[in-house]
């Protein structure tokens, strides 16, 4: 038998799009030597719907039902970003009532919490441990129940609108939300036990998928990936929007920068989110309007301008770059999702040297959300 | 059950080793049997099929987020004999969970043809019916049933887990009644489906049939 | 922020500038200054991160606008550098040597707008679309409805209703929805 060259030993493997370990509908074209990746390329486009084109054809109010569909686990950040950017360009942001701002903050934080509950389960689910994901998805369902009560829908809410929100909080909402939070808190020690004390998870997560600190500025990394390196950067505190500036909030950090650190980061942020929701409920005014007076949405035009608005999604900084030209439609919108960098450039850099079995755990820990990359 | 219109015979090596003939209880062969026995056998087969639906875990669109709660204790689809399978070779229900881009459609056709018969397709959400929210998008298809045979649509954007369970109940009833025959229709009308698929996918590089 | 914009004015020349918020400013510059200015901003100022790069099609002016959003993560402020390029030529300088992830942005803009970035890897490699045979879809002269009618047949019987017919009755005298 003749000796094989390195090139001959390489095997090309398509990981996805039809693969249960992939996050969403995307693919990774991987080259392997043995079971170690030598390189890989991310392929997206399986979920492309052309949002940015469709929004150029729709009036401002008609864009709400489609923007929330940009990211399924956490649609509300998109709604808020569209509302905030258009309000800023039209000057409506000065008229948003106090109570609407509090409700929006609550809404955004609930959405972060539901998304993080899901992704924490994904961390161990990607390693084949099924218990914690099943628990956490059920816990997330409690938050979805409150969303349903508030907005009428479980997943896509279309609740934030220009000048405020669509309806007031129902009576007794705070108590029921508090009961859900207590239920979630009571289950979290069990979840900790099966995730962070699990020998399987510790062995496979500690020291795997380390993101070096030099890449933060070079690649523009944001969110839990950065905070898991010990750098305290959080859009909610760095650029306080809505009522985050009035809350007692500190960016959570941990060290290690590996898969375990990022999972632990999510666990810390779940606790932080629960605390923030309680603070918001305590500080929220009970009286007052929940929406500003809106102009006729069918004929509403706003002046020409450009802006960039950012918010902290559970994955990192999400931003909308919006250009208007004085007509009744958006001229151009660019959705800057955190996964755009995390899922393509960062993932491709981390892939060489990774074991094929760790690849899906790595993708979950970067929280790659493909619809955000291709829109 | 092989129709004369079915243009492609399986290659020699992919045929089962044991001939599906005498002594094969559930084999799909034309045999000289009394009509009553044939009907009884068909009913038994359909009853078995309806109570073990294995769903392929391929989230083609956003509707798949509501499939995940179905597997947890709250909605629990396993009590109806349904389970998620990772590969097309082990599954017989393909859920198209929402909008389908042209790039995804190619993979869906491939996965669908790889699934062993009998197999059923469930179109989930308004997007599969008439394009839904993305009716004017250049990259999403408006009608799923032009490209793969759809046995059941579940309307909504997105359908709730309860709606999904209700929908799967209807699919089971259809299978028991012998009405869910999309997979036969696909083989019989293969030319029509292939023509539609090739009209849309301009860089066609799939084999004629993905075994 | 003011000091940096003043230095851009002195050294590179600013065609137009705009202050959107306290932490967000925008400057329009000439195409030949893009690479020197971005290099200077990255190497010698706190604006080290490229947050996004996107294109706007100004069809009526016959120009594309490229917008580079740079962020100063420590000072918590952002600067948009915008440049107008001719729509016919549609070529711009690549910045992938400064930021590695600019490759993805340039690949996408190349595919969706047809703007070419010479020297950038993955130019012409399909990123999102597959088997596309029309003009780049994000250009303003691409008609998505016409394309949809040609390629994606609709189910017969779909009705199109104008919401104005129904909502017009509810809207009050002053045009406010809440009156």
User: Which residue segment(s) compose the domain that C43 sits in?
Assistant: 2-154
Shortest distance between the Cα of C45 and any Cα of chain B, in A, equals 42
Cα-based torsion angle of the residue sequence C109, C110, C114, C119 in order, rounded to the nearest 10 degrees:
130
Three-state SS at B148? coil
- What pLDDT does residue A8 have? 67
What digits encode the pLDDT tens for the residues A179-188? 999 999 999 9
Shortest distance between the Cα of B1 and any Cα of chain C, in A, equals 31
What digits encode the pLDDT tens for the residues A94-152? 888 989 999 999 999 999 999 999 999 888 888 888 888 999 999 999 999 999 998 88
Q: Do C147 and B140 touch (CB under 8 A)?
A: no
The better pLDDT of the pair A24, C55 is held by: C55
C147 CB neighbours in chain B (<8 A) are: 138
Per CATH, domain B56-200 is 2.130.10.10: no
Rg (CA), chain B: 18
C140: tokens are 């303003």
Distances (CA, A) of A193 to A116, A119, A189, A190, C167: 18, 17, 6, 5, 55
Strands B120-124 and B152-154: parallel
From A77-91, A153-167, A349-363, C146-160, the region with the lowest mean pLDDT: C146-160
Subunits with 3+ Cβ pairs within 8 Å of A are: B, C
When CB atoms are compared, the residue of B57, B62, B137 closest to A20 is B57
- What pLDDT does residue A81 have? 93
B27: tokens are 């084999």
Q: Among A308, A319, A323, which would you mutate to test the C interface (most chain C Cβ atoms within 10 Å of its Cβ)?
A: A308
C126: tokens are 């399909």
From A214-223, A228-237, B22-31, the region with the lowest mean pLDDT: B22-31
What digits encode the pLDDT tens for the residues A43-67? 988 889 888 888 888 888 888 888 9
B137 CB neighbours in chain C (<8 A) are: 144, 148
Q: What integer best gives the mean pLDDT of chain A? A: 88
- ipTM confidence: 0.86
Three-state SS at B120? strand
- What pLDDT does residue B67 have? 86
In a domain, C176, yes or no: no
- What pLDDT does residue B5 have? 46
Is the CB of A321 inside 8 Å of chain C's CB atoms? yes
In a domain, C137, yes or no: yes
Size of interface A-C (CB pairs under 8 A): 112
- What pLDDT does residue A264 have? 92
Q: Do B69 and A66 touch (CB under 8 A)?
A: no
Contact residues for A170 (Cβ-Cβ < 8 A; gap 6+): A149, A150
Q: Which domains does chain A have, with CATH numbers?
A: 50-374 (1.10.645.10)
Instruction: Classify residue B97 as exposed, middle or buried by CB count within 10 Å of its CB (0-12, 13-18, 19+).
Output: buried
- What pLDDT does residue C11 have? 84
From A216-230, A248-262, B30-44, B110-124, the region with the lowest mean pLDDT: B30-44
Q: Do B139 and C137 touch (CB under 8 A)?
A: yes
The better pLDDT of the pair B209, A89 is held by: A89
Cα–Cα distance for residue pair C110/C64, rounded to 1 Å: 12
Q: How many domains does chain C have?
A: 1
* Nearest residue of C to residue B129, measured between CA atoms: C155
Is the CB of B208 inside 8 Å of chain A's CB atoms? no
- What pLDDT does residue A45 have? 86
In a domain, C171, yes or no: no
- What pLDDT does residue C162 have? 61
When CB atoms are compared, the residue of A45, A239, A346 closest to C127 is A45
In a domain, C172, yes or no: no
Q: Do B202 and C155 touch (CB under 8 A)?
A: no
pTM of the model: 0.87
Question: Which residue in B209, B113, B195 sits closest to B146, CA to CA?
Answer: B195
- What pLDDT does residue C89 have? 86
Rg (CA), chain C: 21
* Nearest residue of A to residue C78, measured between CA atoms: A308
Q: What percent of chain A has pLDDT over 70?
A: 98
Q: Of all helices (H) and strands (E), which one includes residue C65? A: strand C63-72
Q: Do C18 and A336 touch (CB under 8 A)?
A: no
- What pLDDT does residue B31 have? 58
Q: What is the DSSP letter of A199?
A: H
Q: Which residues of chain B have pLDDT under 70?
A: 1-33
Q: Could you tell me the CATH number of the domain that includes residue C110?
A: 3.30.460.80
Give yes or no for residue A17 having a pLDDT over 50: yes
A329: tokens are 């439609």
- What pLDDT does residue A267 have? 92
In a domain, C167, yes or no: no
In a domain, C168, yes or no: no
Q: Which residues of chain C have pLDDT under 70?
A: 158-179
- What pLDDT does residue A7 have? 65
């Amino acid at each position: 038998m003749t000796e094989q060259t390195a090139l001959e030993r390489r095997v090309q493997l398509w990981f996805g799009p039809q693969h249960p370990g992939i996050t969403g509908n995307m693919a990774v074209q991987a080259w392997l030597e043995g079971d170690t990746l030598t390189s890989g390329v991310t392929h997206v486009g399986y979920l492309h719907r052309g949002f940015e084109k469709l929004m150029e054809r729709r009036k401002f109010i008609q864009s709400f039902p489609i923007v929330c569909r940009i990211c399924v686990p956490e649609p509300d950040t998109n709604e808020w970003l569209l509302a905030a950017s258009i309000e800023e360009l039209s000057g409506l942001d000065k008229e948003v009532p106090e109570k609407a701002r509090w409700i929006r903050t609550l809404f955004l934080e609930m959405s972060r919490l539901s998304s993080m509950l899901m992704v924490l389960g994904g961390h161990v689910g990607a390693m084949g441990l099924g218990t914690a994901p099943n628990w956490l998805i059920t816990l997330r369902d409690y938050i979805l129940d409150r969303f349903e009560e508030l907005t009428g829908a479980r997943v896509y809410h279309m609740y934030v609108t220009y000048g405020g929100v669509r309806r007031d909080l129902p009576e007794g909402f705070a108590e029921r939300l508090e009961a859900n939070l207590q239920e979630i808190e009571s289950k979290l020690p069990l979840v900790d036990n099966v995730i962070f004390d699990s020998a399987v998870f510790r062995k496979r997560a500690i020291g795997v998928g380390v993101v070096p600190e030099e890449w933060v500025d070079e690649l523009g990394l944001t969110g839990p990936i950065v905070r898991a390196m010990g750098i305290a950067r959080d859009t909610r505190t760095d650029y306080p929007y809505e009522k985050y500036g009035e809350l007692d909030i500190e960016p959570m950090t941990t060290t290690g920068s590996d898969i375990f650190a990022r999972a632990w980061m999510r666990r810390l942020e779940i606790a932080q989110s629960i605390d923030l929701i309680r603070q918001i409920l305590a500080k929220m005014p009970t009286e007052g309007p929940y929406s500003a007076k809106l102009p006729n949405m069918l004929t509403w035009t706003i002046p020409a301008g450009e802006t960039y608005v950012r918010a902290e999604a559970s994955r990192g900084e999400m931003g909308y770059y919006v250009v208007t030209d004085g007509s009744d439609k958006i001229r151009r919108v660019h959705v800057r999702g955190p996964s755009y960098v995390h899922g393509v450039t960062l993932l491709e850099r981390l892939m060489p040297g990774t074991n094929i079995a760790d690849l899906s755990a790595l993708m979950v820990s970067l929280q790659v959300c493909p619809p955000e990359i291709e829109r | 059950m092989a129709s004369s219109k079915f243009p492609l015979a399986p290659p020699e090596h992919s045929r089962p080793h044991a001939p599906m003939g005498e002594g094969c209880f559930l084999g799909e062969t034309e045999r000289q049997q009394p009509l009553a026995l044939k009907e009884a056998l068909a009913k038994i087969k359909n009853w078995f099929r309806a109570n073990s639906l294995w769903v392929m875990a391929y989230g083609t669109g956003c509707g798949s987020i509501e499939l995940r709660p179905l597997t947890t204790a709250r909605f629990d689809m396993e009590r109806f004999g349904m389970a998620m399978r990772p590969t097309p070779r082990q599954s017989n229900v393909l859920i198209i969970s929402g909008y389908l881009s042209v790039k995804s459609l190619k993979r869906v056709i491939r996965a669908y043809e790889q699934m062993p018969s009998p197999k059923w397709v469930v179109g989930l959400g308004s997007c599969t019916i008439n394009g839904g929210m993305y009716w004017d998008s250049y990259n999403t298809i408006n009608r799923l049933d032009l490209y793969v045979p759809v046995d059941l649509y579940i309307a909504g954007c997105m359908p709730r887990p309860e709606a999904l369970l209700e929908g799967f109940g209807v699919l089971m009833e259809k299978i028991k009644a012998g009405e869910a025959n999309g997979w036969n229709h696909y083989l019989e009308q293969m030319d029509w489906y292939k023509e539609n698929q090739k009209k849309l996918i301009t860089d066609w590089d799939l084999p004629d049939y993905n075994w | 922020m003011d000091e940096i914009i003043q230095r851009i004015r002195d050294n590179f020349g600013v065609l137009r500038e705009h202050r959107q918020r306290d932490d967000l400013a925008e400057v329009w510059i000439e195409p030949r200054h893009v690479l020197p200015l971005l290099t200077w901003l990255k190497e010698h100022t706190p604006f080290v991160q490229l947050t996004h790069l996107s294109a706007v099609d100004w069809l009526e002016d016959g120009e594309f606008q490229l917008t580079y959003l740079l962020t100063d993560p420590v000072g918590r402020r952002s600067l948009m550098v915008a440049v107008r390029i001719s729509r016919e030529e549609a070529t711009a300088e690549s910045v992938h040597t400064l930021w590695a992830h600019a490759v993805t942005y340039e690949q996408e803009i190349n595919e969706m707008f047809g703007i070419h970035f010479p020297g950038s890897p993955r130019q012409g490699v399909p990123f999102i679309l597959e088997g596309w045979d029309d003009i780049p879809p994000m250009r303003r002269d691409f008609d998505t409805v016409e394309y949809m009618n040609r390629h994606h047949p609709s189910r017969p019987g779909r009705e199109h209703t104008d919401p104005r017919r129904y909502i017009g009755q509810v809207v009050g005298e002053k045009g406010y929805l809440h009156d």
